[in-house]
Structure 1
Amino acid sequence: MTNILNLKKLSKYIGVALCLGMMFFADAAVAQKATWIWYPGDYEIWLSNKMQNRRTERGAFLPPLWKEDSHYVLVEFHKDIDLPKAEKVEIGVEGQYNLKIDGKAFAGYPKSIDIPAGKHRISLKVYNQASPPAIYVKGDKLVSDASWLVTFEDREWIDASGKSSDLSATTYVNAGAWNFNEVNTSPSAFRLPVTEQQAVKKDKSANSILVDFGKETFGFVKLLGVKGKGKATLYFGESKEEALSPDHGELMDELQIDQSQKADVTFEGSRAFRYVNIKFDGGVTVDDASMLYEYSPVEQRGSFKCNDEQINKIWDVAAYTLHLNTREFFIDGIKRDRWVWSGDAYQSYAMNYYLYFDSPTVTRTLYALRGKDPVTSHINTIMDYTFYWFLGIHDYYQYTGDKAFIKQMYPRMQSLMNWCLARRDKDGLMVGLPGDWTFIDWADGLSKKGEVSFEQLLLCRSMETMGLCADLMGEKAEAAKYRQMSAALKAKIFQYYWNAQKGALVHSRVNGKQTDNVTRYSNMFSIFFNYFTEAQKQQVKKTVLMNDKIQKITTPYMHFYELEALCTMGEQNAVLKEMKSYWGGMLNLGATTFWEEYNPAKSGADHYSMYGREFGKSLCHAWGASPIYLLGKYYLGVKPTAPGYSKYIIAPKLGGLQWMEGSVPTPNGDISVRCDTKQIKVSADTGTGTLQFTSSTLPTCKEGAVVAKGKNVYEVSIAKGKKYTVEYTAM
């Protein structure tokens, strides 16, 4: 039974969320600006637990399948400061607390204190079982921010004489923050904002209303003008068929009505739907229905337009799909599961870099997925999802250049990698052990037995990530160790899995012998990981990627990587046709968001079934939004070549289009590109770039020198804040 949402309570949450909207995704540490702080990762873990445990299906609670960690309940915060003059400091705390200056405790729970001029240490020890211990400190100079040090384990002790220990074993780290910048915007009160939206069509009968909101959406259903006594039941549907199937739809809510006067009623649970079939007893009347659309207030900065209207529609629907699945964290789907899955999230990070460039949602998701030590299982219990977590760290640094986050996360990277390495077999390869789920993809008959080549590739890339981050940490010996280990594993991959006769990596080894099966996964990843020689790439393109005898991929999840591999090899023309066929195929069936799985061979309502359930498939799945990434990175051609876009490349490829234009967000502004068959225009707000293109005639550029690189390839250096126009002839 779902309770009526208290509208007064909801209004409070909306107010909190809206006032946070403008500061929702700013950087954590802002000089001289106070913000709520906590032990890094604790708030993210706590919030993800709250979000993921909201899942219900037909009134049944469905918790996640994996271990959930909790926040530290007792945390010490401190800051050393030299004040030029005395100041009054405002204090906000979530939890019980002890406040000290220079080791001297204040009585009670002060909301403000006076600090004299000079050098001082202010410290707070906070206990909170219900939500992460958090503090807010605001003075003229003393403010709580990410420069504060925190610990969950204060190992100080005092001997019998009253003397404190000379040597401390306490480990301190910099505080975490999410820019809750006012004392009354406490972190535990956070809610996403909502806005009311109306249906586009309603079919009303005596005791039911079928409501169509025109497209996939997410939020709280609101019944208008409700009166009487009896039961109201809501059947939700991503499709009309699902809403009209009371016995097999995935989501439904019931509510007992007892109202003598007409009033509006808002259901408590947020749901995914396009259609809502509202049924009510004869003693109940309902005038109308609307919804409160719940959303994350991210700013869409990326854009793409071209001469092909179907591609424009694909980009727009992909952007809306990602928007719906961008919430407190990147989730997999808004109907099912509404959980944070590492493989799904890894793709969302990539799309985010070309649509929002919202770094905080990435870091929150990475913190939430990693959880805490000790490590007892793979992330989401899936071996490949553990490795995608490492890859997410690698890409995050490349796109953002954020060393501070790497510093905070590195100890958790170390412990997780050590746990993985301890699970290798006698040949130094990863193999599924009891409790491990080797996923790879949803594909009929896909073997997970033995040592799967795909898992070794992901481990190899993860060890390369460890080497990169160890270098950033100044851990030279550890960096060298990981470089050596990754090089040795790469050699083993080709020794154990490369089959010269098949011209490809085989899928697996069983009992020390290659299997005959060749699948697309290892081969396409090896292309954009750049593990193949050029000759091997061409061989694999022919024997695997362009070979219809190799089992086809039917999920947008792995289609993402397949098309990326083809784009890496310059096959933009073929990829454009596939985007129009595959994603366009979903649009032709009436999709308003992209699906978890699409098989063109299916027909009718069979498109909605999955997991042995008639409507089990998610029709709004984050991994369906990959055209955002493909069109930004491989058609507009923008990607960083040094961390944080300090250096970057623009290599536009029309791929069969007549013209295209768009912008790609970066940490410090946007990169804009317009390209047709005769002219390329670019400008950038950041870094130093290289425009690279091919031309059948000698190109010209008034704003910069054109450098010939051979084989009709030319380059122009791009400076920050300057506009460039190149006259050329597309090949």
Structure 2
Amino acid sequence: MRNFIKKLKVEYLLGMILLALFVVPTSLNAQDNSKNTDATWIWYPGDYEIWLSNQMQAKRTERGAFFPPLWRYYSPYSLVTFRKKLSLDQNDVVEIHTEGQAKIQLDGKMYYGDPKALEIPAGDHILTIKVYNQEATPSLFVKGNNVITDASWEVTYEDKEWIDASGRTSGESGTHWDQVGSWDFDNKEDLPSEFRLETKPKKAVKITPHKKGYLVDFGEETFGFVKLHGLEGSGDLNVYYGESEEEARSEEFCETLDRLEFDGSQASDFLIDQSRAFRYVNVQPEDGIQLDSVSMLYEYLPLEYKGAFNSSDELLNEIWDVSAYTMHLTSREFFIDGIKRDRWIWSGDAYQSYLMNYYLFNDNPSVKRTTYALRGKDPVNSHINTIMDYSFYWFMGIYDYYLFSGDEDFIKQIYPRMKSLMEFCLERRNANGMVEGLPGDWVFIDWADGLSKEGEVSFEQLLFARSLETMAICAEINGEPDAVKRYNGLAEDLKQKIQTEFWSDEQQAFIHNRVEGELTDKVTRYTNMFAIFFDYVNAEKEAQIKEHVLLNDQVQQITTPYMRFYELEALCALGEQEYVLDEIRDYWGGMLELGATSFWEKYDPTEKGVEQLAMYGRPFGKSLCHAWGASPIYLFGRYYLGVQPTAPGYASYEIRPNLGGLKWMEGKVPTPKGPISVYADRREIKINGIKGAGKLIFKSRNTPSGAAGIQSLGDDAYELAIETDREYKIKYKAL
């Protein structure tokens, strides 16, 4: 994230040139009959993601009570029209399948009845299919020898503005056409509305008799469906779930439970139909019910661990492993916050999940699904998740996606929704051109005691400025030079105000907020640490922030992994990798010492015993598996293995390995072009790069050897161009 905007502006044109060498553009209108034969289900962009997120987020319960999200629900368009311009060398017979009722037209001629197949003669044609579905997402699957549904189709919800997916006026009066949305439903039987996560059986590691039933331990935090074996009789049976043993035993205060009634006709092996998060399960049958044992079906999104990290420190290796497992548990239909609570899509949590994803799974569809689900539809009448900072994280996540993926089509597809949300944000500025919480807004920042959210909070202005810079970049991608100028101007103006109105020479730090025009004397870590890796301050101020804020125990400490992530990133950006590893050992290692098998929503080492399980005034309110707890994945990949893209899609990239006091380390970072592998000890570096404009940058006490082309940068720093995917070996002496 350091030098986020500066690097892109410098290397944007280089990135576009390099991308052109590796990416073949796809026409949105012309079918390539010779290459693509894989049909897929398609829909209006974002609609399936909205529908699926509605289904998922409605599954949260609290002690058996329905507990829906706290923000507005959106719905798919119930009637959409799909269109494809065809140029066929020979006749084609196509299958047509829809989720919903369909009206089929070829060259304007309507086909009556409900045809499941259609013969299309050779020549130029326009195939138009209108689909209606009020209960799920109107979706289409077409498959012939040459005509298939894929990303080249157009779709409209009949908004009466006829422009094509590239934004050009089509010359037809009446409708706005967009590029379709799709995922990986590549078979006519794979109906999008019937999507389910995968499952596999999992046995308990320990079953202990408890009261009339059993206390079941599955050995680690997990997620899925409890299965009862040898179930007989009629009567009631209660299941109490716990991320901790204390929670599962607490029939009065556990967060999730199931109360079941049986009449004797149930199957002997009975699967509870609602998935839950737990490690422990307390199964209590009433009189008249008996059972033999308990197992589960583990429910998961099948993602491959493409990233890896290993080192001379076994504690750090365990922290990486548990971080990866935490990330996998919270990567479901979408990137969610926690698997017990809330099971919702929060933008601040998702933003961090995206970054971890790029260094673990590199799964682009999950990022796009989550981005669409968070945004919803126009008109905009509230911030994302009702939280001001979460709207800004949404913008920042889109640029990160482009940087790591090079997926320009998605930027063009999502850009109209970016513009409308940004206009909403701009309209809510005060007379000073800054944002502050208005009625209906939640200014979150972090869970911290006594943290003021009043007035003009400098942290919010910082995120707003970065969002405006992101808008300028995306406007350039979309060919809007006037918008580029406008957004850049707004960003520069706001950045200048942050410097002049919040920086304190006396405290050598940014002040937290200004209330009714009066600057407070409160210094917090948030603005200061983000200013470091946003590259918003010069070297002198970096040093002052480091001494007077980041390494100052008198400044309020951060107790959530959410903001510890950014604090440690700022320190890594300042070259404090050794210090950061000690902090990771202490903070994440502290959770492991307490028996954590996934990382928590919050960890405060001053809390003892069951205090560690409480939050929100509830004895077991804390989530013990929270996505933002997995941040070591990103830190290890980005700041120790040292891999980062410097142009979209890794068209150019850097590798800056930093041992941080380790004897050795090794790992992989996934990219769109394959993995980058890094090994480093104190005398040797081995790199397997990818094709492109890569740079290995490292420091050495002596003149390095072993590879041709190593250049000195001065101050013990050296650089080697990495242009192919072969192995490079460098002999050096670590500082």
Q: Same fold (TM over 0.5)?
A: yes
- Please point out which of 298, 302, 305 is paired with 1:300: 305
**What is the one-letter code of the residue matched to 1:598?**
Y
Correspondent of 2:425 among 415, 420, 428: 420
- Any idea what SS the aligned residue of 1:282 has? coil
Counterpart contact for 1:28–1:176, Cα < 8 Å: no
CA distance in 2, matches of 1:282, 1:709: 78
Q: 1:3 matched to which residue of 2?
A: none
Residue among 390, 396, 419 paired with 2:401? 396
- Contact persistence 1:38–1:132 (CA under 8 A): yes
Structure 2 residue 180 is the aligned partner of structure 1 residue 175: yes
Structure 1 letter corresponding to 2:702: T
Unaligned runs of 5+ in 2: 1-25, 29-34, 163-169
2:70 is equivalent to residue 68 of structure 1: no
Between the aligned partners of 2:491 and 2:564, the Cα distance in structure 1 is 27
1:522-551 per-residue CA deviation (whole Å, 9 max, x = no partner) reads: 000000000000110011000000000000
| Cα gap change, 1:481 to 1:229, in 2 (>3 Å) | same
Name the SS of the counterpart of 1:669 in structure 2.
coil
DSSP 3-state at the match of 1:597: coil
Per the alignment, residue 142 of structure 1 pairs with 147
Q: Secondary structure at the match of 2:127?
A: strand
Matches within 5 A, 1:676-691: 676-691=681-696
Q: Does 1:716 align with 2:699?
A: no
**Residue 152 of structure 1: aligned partner:** 157
Between 1:90-99 and 1:201-210, the stretch displaced more is 201-210
Q: How far apart, CA to CA, are the structure 1 residues paired with 2:499 and 2:27?
A: 43
Other-structure match for 2:112? 107
Hey, what's the Cα distance between the residues in 1 that align with 2:153 and 2:75?
A: 22
Percent of aligned pairs sharing the same letter: 57
Q: Does 1:38 align with 2:43?
A: yes
CA gap 1:32/1:260 in 2 versus in 1, 3 angstroms: closer
Call closer, same or farther: CA 1:111–1:300 in 2, change over 3 Å.
same
**Helix, strand or coil for the counterpart of 2:555?**
coil
Stretch deviating more after TM superposition (31-40 or 418-427): 31-40
Residues 599-640 of structure 1 show CA distances to partners (whole Å, capped at 9, x for unaligned) of: 000100000000000000000000000000000000000000
Matches within 5 A, 1:212-251: 212-251=217-256
- Whether 1:550 and 2:555 are equivalent positions in the alignment is yes
Query: Does the Cα contact within 8 Å between 1:467 and 1:478 map onto a contact in 2?
Result: yes
The SS at the match of 2:483 is helix
Q: Deviations over 1:109-133 (max 9, x none)?
A: 1111100000000000111101111
Query: Residues 725, 206 of structure 1: CA spacing in aligned structure 2 closer, same or farther, 3 A cutoff?
Result: same
Report the equivalent of 2:678: 673
Contact 1:216/1:592 (8 A) holds in 2: yes
Task: Tell me the residue number matched to 1:340.
Answer: 345
Give the drift of 1:72.
Answer: 0.4
- Measured after TM superposition, the shift of residue 204 of structure 1 is 1.8
Q: Are 2:653 and 1:651 aligned? A: no
- The alpha-carbon deviation at position 258 of structure 1 amounts to 2.3
> In structure 2, how many angstroms separate the alpha carbons of the residues matched to 1:476 and 1:191?
43
2:597 counterpart residue number: 592
The one of 128, 135, 145 equivalent to 1:130 is 135
Deviations 1:180-206 (A, max 9, x none): 111111100100011010000010256
- Matched length: 697
Asked whether the 8 Å contact 1:648–1:688 carries over to 2, the reply is yes
Deviation at 1:443, TM superposition (A): 0.1
Match of 1:199 in 2: 204
2:371 aligned partner: 366
Question: Against the structure 1 CA distance between its residues 209 and 473, is the aligned structure 2 distance closer, same or farther, given a 3 Å change threshold?
Answer: same
In the other structure, the counterpart of 2:13 is: none
- 3-state SS, counterpart of residue 604 of structure 2: coil
* Residue in structure 2 matched with residue 16 of structure 1 by the alignment: none
Q: Say which SS state the counterpart of residue 700 (structure 1) adopts.
A: coil
Q: Tell me the equivalent position of 2:8.
A: none
Work out the CA distance in 1 between the residues paired with 2:668 and 2:694.
15
Equivalent residue in structure 1 for 2:583, among 578, 589, 594:
578
Q: Give yes or no for contact 1:100–1:106 (8 Å, CA) kept in 2.
A: yes
Structure 2: distance between partners of 1:80 and 1:169: 17
- Distance across 2 between alignment mates of 1:547 and 1:156: 57
What is the match of residue 15 of structure 1? none
C-alpha separation in 2, matches of 1:319 and 1:199: 22
Q: Which residue is 2:333 aligned to?
A: 328
Match of 1:5 in 2: none
1:328 Cα deviation (Å)? 0.4
Task: Give CA deviations for 1:693-719 in whole Å, capped at 9, x if unaligned.
Answer: 0000000023x3110000000011011
Give structure 1 stretches of 5+ with no counterpart: 1-26, 158-164
Q: CA deviation at 1:312?
A: 0.3
Displacement of 1:169 = 3.9
Q: Is the 8 A contact 1:79 1:123 kept in 2?
A: yes
SS in 2 for 1:98: strand
SS of 2:675 mapped into structure 1: strand
Q: Which residue matches 1:630?
A: 635
Residue of structure 2 in register with 1:162 after alignment? none
Q: Which residue of 345, 349, 361 corresponds with 1:356?
A: 361
Q: 1:63 to 1:701 in 2, by over 3 A?
A: same
Q: Deviations over 1:384-443 (max 9, x none)?
A: 000000000010111111100000000000000001000000000001000000000000
User: CA RMSD, aligned part only?
Assistant: 1.5
Normalised by the size of structure 2, how large is the TM-score? 0.94
